[in-house]
Amino acid sequence: MKKFHIAYCIASLLAASDEAIAEAVSGGTVEEMRGSLKAMLDDGIEFLTIADCDNTHKNGSCAGHEAADELG
């Protein structure tokens, strides 16, 4: 069974209000965060996982992690 990290679509974040970005992303002012998100898009990264992920596709989305089947 694979589990996946949830990710934000960067284009959607950039279209969001400053308040929504401040709530969803940390790491500086809203202007700095918008700049970082735009730079990520320029580099071909389309998704931002909401947790640290060590297994991502080139587009930034989680490629999945093997996990024990919790359903039995």
Type and span of the H or E element at 31: helix 30-42
15: in domain: yes
* DSSP state letter for 21: H
71: in domain: no
29: in domain: yes
How many domains does one find in the chain?
Answer: 1
Indicate whether 69 pLDDT > 90: no
- Long-range pairs for 34-37: beta carbons < 8 A, 24 or more residues apart: 37/10, 37/13
**What residues contact residue 49 under an 8 Å CB cut-off, 6+ apart?**
5, 6, 7, 56, 60, 61, 62
pLDDT at 27 (0 to 100): 85
**What residues contact residue 42 under an 8 Å CB cut-off, 6+ apart?**
none
Residues in the chain: 72
- pTM of the full predicted structure? 0.82
72: in domain: no
17: in domain: yes
pLDDT at 35 (0 to 100): 95
51: in domain: yes
Q: What residue numbers bound the domain in which 44 lies?
A: 2-66
In tens, the pLDDT along 24-34 reads 888 899 999 99
Indicate whether 71 pLDDT > 70: no
